[in-house]
Amino acid sequence: MPAPDLREQLRPLFDPRSIAVVGATNTAGKWGNMLMERPIKGGFPGPVFPVHPTAEEVMGRRAYPSVLDIPEHIDLAVLTVPAPVTPQVLRECGAKGIRAAVIISAGFSESGVEGEQRQADIVSAAREAGIRFVGPNCNGMWSASSSLTLHSPTAPAKGRIAFISQSGAFGGSLIEAASRQGYGVSRFVSTGNQADLNDADYLEYLRDDPETDVIALYIEGLKDPRRFLATARRVVETKPVLVYKAGRNPVGARAVHSHTASLMVPDEVFDAACKQFGLIRVHEAMHLFTLASALSEAPLPNGHRVAVMSMTGGQCVVTSDSCAFLGLDVPVLDEATQERLIPMLAPHAPRPRNPVDLAGDFRDVRLFSQVADILADLPYIDGLILSGPGGAGGDERTRETAERMATIPERTGKPVVGVGMRRMADDISSEVFREHTIPSYETPEESARAM
């Protein structure tokens, strides 16, 4: 379990009952306006109090000169005020009894010596006040359990993947892309400079977070590599942790420090540490969600032997090729199984050695599930990459076939990954696979990588 006080310290961050936006404004396009609008439009159920030194109202809500003037208890303060006044605002928050904050403001350690001193000042003020905070120099956060949206005008799809990102804008764009592709998120934090809370703290919290099955990290550098890895070692015992590390070469590394002032770890050292401590490293940012989705939705395979079945020869070839490239084995089926499959396939279909090419045979969509069942029962197959029958044939028969395929993990304990699945509302196979939380992808490369 995480330290008893950490879960309680972060409760008002991820599950606040009330919010104060310090620096709120009626001026559209400014942070103080967006940070008022986002939780309100995003469905946050609690009160959102604007704090402004002179305004009487912000977005139709009564404004207060200071958090100290708000008559109700506040769980979370969101700060978008100039860097020099941030320490004083934190002290006022502490006096009000606020114990968590998100500091959006920039102008701290990422901006030189003077900024480093300002950052030291806010850390000191927060510690005196008993406040844990995200940032500074961050873009906010999202928490599905409280419907709290600070990072974007639109809330992402709710799901079981937690995403911690050292880039706010880029992390937000990944979240939006993930939502469009059907990947749901439980928590998102734009960590900023990590002056107080850092990646290790978030990992520790998420380890026992009941809302989260898989943790994904976008990392540019580490504040405390030793503590991060020690924490990660404990977390991966219960939940998978995926990492995308930016700054893998001198050009990227040069950009990292000016962005978040993070301590760079040599790429070869980081790669070795991932292998030693059980972190799953990805080399394309969007693969964080591709793989996290598979890990959160499918049972883990007992080995690396995969059966591939598709309606088209090209998809069979590219899927098998992608599997081999990624280190998966696509074993040749035994002669008895091949002979059993041959009468089921169309006369023009190639011999079913693995992959199994159904060769565009739509005479009876039940062929999909019949072949899939045979492959799933083979003791030397650990997982299956399958295309579904789509919208072919009668709707009821197609649905029954897709249902049969989607229950393979329940019946055999082996993972199934969909390939060539259209993310469309009228595609029956895609709909059924989603209902059964079968990870499905449009391209063979994505499906192979997920497996």
Instruction: Delineate the domains of the chain, giving CATH numbers in brackets.
Output: 4-134 (3.40.50.720), 141-297 (3.40.50.261), 306-450 (3.40.50.261)
Can you tell me the mean pLDDT for 217-231?
91
pLDDT score for 16: 98
How many CA atoms does the CB half-sphere of 417 hold within 13 Å? 31
Judge residue 295's burial from the number of C-beta atoms within 10 Å of its C-beta, 0-12 exposed, 13-18 middle, 19 or more buried.
buried
pLDDT score for 424: 52
pLDDT above 90 for 102: yes
Judge residue 146's burial from the number of C-beta atoms within 10 Å of its C-beta, 0-12 exposed, 13-18 middle, 19 or more buried.
buried
Of 91-105, 322-336, 434-448, least confident by mean pLDDT is 434-448
pLDDT score for 290: 85
What whole-number percentage of the chain has pLDDT above 90? 72
Judge residue 283's burial from the number of C-beta atoms within 10 Å of its C-beta, 0-12 exposed, 13-18 middle, 19 or more buried.
exposed
Can you tell me the mean pLDDT for 263-288?
86
Of 15-29, 147-161, 280-294, 404-418, least confident by mean pLDDT is 280-294
CA 186 from chain centre, in angstroms, equals: 8
Q: Is 288 helix (H, G, I), strand (E, B) or coil?
A: helix
pLDDT above 90 for 132: yes
Q: What is the pTM of this model?
A: 0.83
pLDDT above 80 for 285: yes
Can you tell me the mean pLDDT for 76-84?
98
Helix axes 287-297, 168-180, angle to 10 degrees: 50
What confidence category does residue 256 fall into, taking pLDDT thresholds of 50, 70 and 90? Answer: low
pLDDT score for 259: 47
Of 1-10, 49-58, 326-335, 359-368, least confident by mean pLDDT is 1-10
Question: CA-CA distance, 244 to 282, in Å (whole number)?
Answer: 5
What whole-number percentage of the chain has pLDDT above 70? 93
What confidence category does residue 262 fall into, taking pLDDT thresholds of 50, 70 and 90? Answer: low
CB-based contacts of 76: which residues, under 8 Å, 6+ apart? 12, 13, 16, 18, 19, 20, 98, 100, 101, 102
pLDDT above 80 for 405: yes
Tokens for 151, please give them.
């990072």
Of 1-15, 49-63, 285-299, least confident by mean pLDDT is 1-15
